[in-house]
Amino acid sequence: MSGNAAALTPAMRQQAVESSALAFAAIARLKDRYPSSISYQDLLDYLLPNDKQDNDALLRYFNLSLRKNPEVSFDPKANTYRYKPPYDVANAEELLALLQRQELRQGIPYDKLKHGWPDCLETLNQLEREHKILITRQKKDRIPRFIWADEPSLYVRLEPEFVQEWKKISLPNPDKIRVELAAMQSKAAGEAPKPLNAAVTKPKAKKVRRGNKVTNTHMLHLDAISKGYSKK
C-alpha cells in the first residue's frame, strides 16, 4: 500500500465518496443550465444546505473532482463552471460553422450533438430541406445518426416547362428496336453472350483394365491360375 493510500482515514474516504456524488449532481445541473455558466456559490447553494458549506475538506475534494472532469469547463477569473459537451453547438449557425471548419469533413454523431443541443431535431430537418446539411438516418425510426456538410448550390431547380417537355419524350419500344437491329444483322440483337468462365466438358478417358497385382508371394500360384483361365 502506498503512503498516500495509507494516510487516508475513514473520514477522508467518506468525504471523497460524498464529493464524487456532489460532482455528479453538479454536472447534471450544469447540463440543465447549458450554455449558461453557474457561479461556484450558486452551485453550492443548489447542492448543499448552508450548514454543510463550511466543510473545507469536502469542498476541496468536490472542486478537485469537478475541475478534472472532461465534461466541465472552469473559468478561474469569474469562478464559474460550465458544461462542456462533445460539440459546443447550440444553434444552426454554430453547427454550420463547425462543419465548415472540419478539415476531413467528418460526420457529427447525432447522439453526441444532443448533449449540448437537446432540441436540435427540428432545426436539423429544416437545414436538410435547405440542402445545407446531409443526414444519415436509421432505417426503422428515421432518427438521425450522422450529420454532414452539404452545398445548396449543387441543387439546381429546373423550370417547370423543361420538366414537362422532358416527360413528353417517350422511349422507343424494346421489341421494335430488337427487330430493327436484327434486320441490320447487328450482333446486339443476336444470341446472348456466353459466359466467359463457361465450363469446358472433356471426353472421359476409357479405363484400362489391369491384371491383378499380387503382393503376397505365397499366392503367386493363384495369380497364374487366374491369368491362364482368362486366356481361355
Pair 15, 58: CB distance under 8 Å: yes
Note whether 14 and 69 are same-domain residues.
yes
Domain limit, last residue, from 29, 54, 83: 83
64: cell is: 478537485
pLDDT of residue 179: 86
How many Å apart are CA 31 and CA 85, to the nearest integer? 8
Report the 10 Å Cβ neighbour count for 22. Answer: 22
Q: Which of 92, 109, 90 is nearest to 100 (CA)?
A: 92
pLDDT of residue 227: 53
Length of the chain (residues): 232
pLDDT of residue 6: 53
Question: Is 122 a domain residue?
Answer: yes
Note whether 14 and 79 are same-domain residues.
yes
Note whether 127 and 179 are same-domain residues.
no
Q: What is the pLDDT along the chain (232 residues), one digit of tens a residue?
A: 444 555 678 877 887 788 889 999 999 999 989 889 999 999 999 999 888 888 888 888 899 889 999 999 999 999 999 999 999 898 999 999 999 998 887 899 999 999 989 999 999 999 999 999 999 999 999 999 999 999 998 888 889 999 899 888 988 888 888 888 888 877 765 555 566 665 666 666 666 666 555 555 555 555 555 555 455 5
pTM here is 0.56
Note whether 75 and 14 are same-domain residues.
yes
198 phi and psi angles, rounded to 5 deg: -65, 140
Note whether 150 and 165 are same-domain residues.
no
Note whether 16 and 77 are same-domain residues.
yes
7-12, long-range: CB within 8 Å, 24+ apart, which pairs? 12/57
Note whether 125 and 169 are same-domain residues.
no
Q: Which of 57, 27, 64, 65 is nearest to 43 (CA)?
A: 27
Domain limit, last residue, from 154, 172, 203: 154
How many Å apart are CA 50 and CA 1, to the nearest integer? 37
Pair 38, 80: CB distance under 8 Å: yes
Note whether 16 and 33 are same-domain residues.
yes
Question: Is 58 a domain residue?
Answer: yes
Domain limit, last residue, from 30, 59, 83: 83
Question: Is 208 a domain residue?
Answer: no
Q: Which residues of 82-100 are buried (b: 16+ CB within 10 A; e: fewer)?
A: bbbbebbbbebeebbebbe
How many domains in the chain? 3
Note whether 65 and 118 are same-domain residues.
no
Residue-range definition of the domain harbouring residue 48:
10-83
Question: Is 175 a domain residue?
Answer: yes
Q: Which residues, 6+ apart, have CB-to-CB distance to 94 below 8 Å?
A: 88
Question: Is 193 a domain residue?
Answer: no
